[in-house]
Amino acid sequence: MNKFLITVVGATAIGKTALSIHLAKHFNTEIISCDSRQFYKEMCIGTAVPTTKELAAAPHHFIQNRSIFDDYSVGQFEKDALKKLDELFKKHNVVIMVGGSGLYANAVLNGLDYFPKVDPEIRTKLNAKLETEGIESLQKQLKKLDPTSYNEIEIDNPHRLIRALETCIGSGKTYAEFKNKPKATRNFKSIKIGLTAEREIMYQRINKRVDIMIQEGLEQEAKKLFKHKYLNALQTVGYRELFNYLEGQSNLEFAIEEIKKNTRRFAKRQVTWNKKDTEINWFNFEENVATIIKETENLLLTSKN
């Protein structure tokens, strides 16, 4: 157990990518991405994939390694990531993991939760309700049946929303109740580093990032992907709003504001998710990198003893 996985967490646009690269360079190691939006090679601008310069600064894994046409689950990612970690730990004592997808990070660190099988007809009915009544009707239903999950999961993602609802309806229990199983055993130790900021600053950074995405050609990227908008990988903030615009449901200015609003809502849920984790060592996003690295080294030394 002399192997360590340092996981960098925090809300979107907080600076996780930059910090993970600094850590990887300091420890002369490699980075595993657990950002479920950045797996797909067809999605680049809207997922804030690290730049060519950033990718060259340290070896990265699970960045644009899949296609939107692949059926890729968190369970498969857990297996793939653990296999890659076994390889990396043969040459490194420390590996960095980074990403805003708490569910995917938790799968690597603690294993997946068990969820019961439910009648497929429930999902069929929920999908029909989504089509006829819209996503807000499902969100209200989940808020009533399982307020804990409503505040924690990505409720703007229809796939995850329906997954939670079908569990509630099919089992008679809340989705949250199935997420408390004992941790899986791992052959490495875990250290978690979190970046935080005041909410208003966090929201300003999000708004700025969206503006930059638009300048870099997010609308054109969405146009290329529009004919595939039904795919699960594209049911995500930044694309869904532009698909609505391309269908004539809104103008571009409204779509951009919706992206900002929904990204802020997503960040709020990330904060809620991370607040539950008492193992995270928090730093202000403006903290000197050298200080964070020094504190991380101290955490490693403490964990070894």
132 marked among binding-site residues: no
User: What is the pLDDT confidence band of residue 135, given thresholds at 50, 70 and 90?
Assistant: very high
Q: Look at residue 100 and tell me whether its pLDDT is greater than 90.
A: no
> What domains sit in the chain, N to C, each tagged with a CATH number?
4-113+181-304 (3.40.50.300), 120-179 (1.10.20.140)
Q: What is the DSSP string of 174-211?
A: -TGGGG-PPPPP-SSEEEEEEEE--HHHHHHHHHHHHH
Q: Look at residue 1 and tell me whether its pLDDT is greater than 70.
A: no
Average pLDDT, the chain: 94
More confident of the two residues 134 and 115: 134
Q: Could you count the other beta carbons within 10 Å of the beta carbon of residue 185?
A: 7
Q: What is the pLDDT of residues 285-301, one digit of tens each?
A: 999 999 999 999 999 99
Q: What is the pLDDT of residues 163-182, one digit of tens each?
A: 999 999 999 999 988 876 67
Q: Look at residue 162 and tell me whether its pLDDT is greater than 90.
A: yes
| pLDDT on residue 188 | 96
| pLDDT on residue 252 | 97
| pLDDT on residue 33 | 97
As a whole number of angstroms, the distance between CA 105 and CA 207 comes to 25
134 marked among binding-site residues: no
As a whole number of angstroms, the distance between CA 11 and CA 282 comes to 12
Average pLDDT over residues 267-271: 92
User: What is the pLDDT confidence band of residue 36, given thresholds at 50, 70 and 90?
Assistant: very high
User: What is the pLDDT confidence band of residue 160, given thresholds at 50, 70 and 90?
Assistant: confident
| pLDDT on residue 64 | 97
Q: Rg of the chain over CA atoms, in angstroms?
A: 19
15 marked among binding-site residues: yes
Q: What is the DSSP string of 33-51?
A: E--TTTTBTT--GGGTPPP
Q: What is the pLDDT of residues 216-255, one digit of tens each?
A: 999 999 999 999 999 989 999 999 999 999 999 999 999 9
194 marked among binding-site residues: no
According to DSSP, residue 113 is labeled P
| pLDDT on residue 179 | 75
Average pLDDT over residues 266-270: 92
Share of the chain above pLDDT 70, in %: 99
46 marked among binding-site residues: no
| pLDDT on residue 117 | 85
SS3 5: strand
91 marked among binding-site residues: no
111 marked among binding-site residues: no
14 marked among binding-site residues: yes
